[in-house]
Each structure stands twice: as structure tokens, then as C-alpha cells.
Amino acid sequence: TLFMNHFKLETDLSVKAEINLYYDLYLPENFAPNASLLIAVHGYGAHKRYMMREAQLIAPENFVIVSLQAPHQ
């Protein structure tokens, strides 16, 4: 527990949940085993395909990209 500005801040909390997360994976041609990873998560009402398209536009060409489909249960 950490106190900042008179507010109580708790960090590294967790909740156990068993759900299926679907994702798209982009591996650039000749990617290195230690390649950087960009994780793209969309906002409400969007889809992982849209975020993959946007991520590919902004990520350097040697990045691996994962685009997650957020759960909507």
C-alpha cells in the first residue's frame, strides 16, 4: 500500500477469471526472437481487426503485433 496525496493507492491487485481471449498475431518477415511486441486493444464497439490495421500503420516494421479482442460478457 502506498499513500500519495492523501489517497490510498493499492497496486498489483489481481482477480482470477477464466475466459477465452481471442487475438490476431502479426509476425513480420524475418522477425528476430527478441523482437519488440506491440499489444493493441480496441475501445468499446470496435474489433481486433480494426486495431490490427491501426497498429500496423504505426508500429515499426520489425515489431510483432498482437491485437486482442476485448471480452464483452
| pTM for this prediction | 0.71
Pairwise CA distance, residues 38 & 30, whole Å: 17
Model confidence over 14-46: pLDDT tens digits?
A: 888 888 888 999 999 988 989 999 999 887 778
Segment 38-63 mean pLDDT = 90
Asked whether the beta carbons of 48 and 42 are under 8 A apart, the reply is yes
Task: Supply 1's cell numbers.
Answer: 500500500
Q: Scanning the structure block, which residue is given the C-alpha cell 502479426? A: 26
Amino acid, res. 22: Y
Q: Scanning the structure block, which residue is given the C-alpha cell 481471442? A: 22
Q: Scanning the structure block, which residue is given the C-alpha cell 476485448? A: 70
